Amino acid sequence: MSSSTNHIVSHVRPCTSQQELDSLLSAHRCVAIDFTSKNCGPCRMISPEFDRLITEINETYQPLGAMNIPSAPVLGLSVELGFAQNLAAAYGVTATPTFIFFLDGKKFHEFRGADVQKLKSAI
C-alpha cells in the first residue's frame, strides 16, 4: 500500500541555461516558465501561486486510457533573472514576472504581471 500523501512535492524546478531548457522542452509536452527576480515584489507574491497551481494540476492529473505520458503533465520551471540573463534575453523577457507557456516545444502563450486570474486561466 502507498503511504499517506500529506506531503505535496513541488513540480516547479529552477532552470539556468538554454541547454537545460532545450532538453526539458524536448522531454516534456507542456512546460510553463516563471521568469522571476528576487528583488521583485510582485514576483514574490505570484511565484508561490505558480508553484501551487503547477503542483495541484500534477497531483490531480489522471491520464486517459493507456497513454504513456512521461512524468508530470505540466512541468513548471522558475528562471531567476539574476542567474539566467541569457534565457531572459533569448525569450525577450524585459520585465518580471513574465510567464511563458510551451506545448510540444513551441511557445504558445505569454503574459506579464502578477495577475493570479490570468495565471489560472493559462495553466
> In whole angstroms, what is the distance from residue 98 CA to residue 88 CA?
9
For 12-60+71-122, the fitting CATH number among 3.40.50.2300, 3.30.70.260, 3.50.50.60, 3.40.30.10 is 3.40.30.10
Cis peptide before 42 (omega within 30 of 0): no
For the stretch 24-69, pLDDT in tens is 999 999 999 999 999 999 999 999 999 999 999 888 876 655 555 5
> In whole angstroms, what is the distance from residue 85 CA to residue 52 CA?
25
Instruction: Write down the pTM of the prediction.
Output: 0.84
The reply to whether 43 belongs to the active site is yes
Kindly name the residue from 40, 49, 73, 111 that is annotated as catalytic: 40
Q: Which pLDDT score is estimated for 11?
A: 75
- Would you list the domain boundaries of the chain? 12-60+71-122
The reply to whether 40 belongs to the active site is yes
For the stretch 88-97, pLDDT in tens is 999 999 999 9
- Is the pLDDT assigned to residue 2 strictly greater than 70? no
Kindly name the residue from 31, 43, 77, 119 that is annotated as catalytic: 43
Whether the Cβ atoms of residue 101 and residue 32 lie closer than 8 Å to each other:
yes
